[in-house]
Amino acid sequence: MLPLSGADLTVRSGDDEVTLGGRASVFDGATDIAYVGRDSEFTITATSPVRVALPSAKAATAKPFAVVRAADVPVEMRGAGSCSRQVQNFGTPDTLDADSIIACEVITPAGNWSSYPPHKHDVDRPGEETSLEEIYYFEVRTQPGGAGTDPVAWQAAYGTEDRPLEINTAVRPGDTVLIPHGWHGPSMAAPGYDLYYLNVMAGPGDERIWLICDDPAHTWVRSTWEDQPVDARLPFPAK
pLDDT of residue 222: 97
- Overall domain count for the chain: 1
Residue 121 lies in a domain: yes
Nearest C-alpha neighbor of 31 from the set 90, 78, 87: 90
Residues whose CB is less than 8 angstroms from the CB of residue 209 and which lie 6 or more positions away in sequence, other chains included? 93, 130
Residue 55 lies in a domain: yes
Residue 229 lies in a domain: no
Residue 226 lies in a domain: no
Q: How far apart, in whole angstroms, are the C-alpha atoms of residue 185 and residue 115?
A: 5
pLDDT of residue 239: 61
- H or E element, residue 96: none
CATH number at residue 175: 2.60.120.10
Nearest C-alpha neighbor of 43 from the set 62, 18, 70, 68: 18
Report CA 216 to chain centroid distance, whole Å.
24
pTM of the model: 0.97
Q: How far apart, in whole angstroms, are the C-alpha atoms of residue 125 and residue 28?
A: 37
CB 147 within 8 A of CB 192: no
Residue 210 lies in a domain: yes
Residue 41 lies in a domain: yes
Residue 200 lies in a domain: yes
Residue 238 lies in a domain: no
CB 46 within 8 A of CB 6: yes
User: For each of the chain's 239 residues, which pLDDT tens digit applies?
Assistant: 999 999 999 999 999 999 999 999 999 999 999 999 999 999 999 999 999 999 999 999 999 999 999 999 999 999 999 999 999 999 999 999 999 999 999 999 999 999 999 999 999 999 999 999 999 999 999 999 999 999 999 999 999 999 999 999 999 999 999 999 999 999 999 999 999 999 999 999 999 999 999 999 999 999 999 999 999 999 999 76
Domain that holds residue 132: 2-220
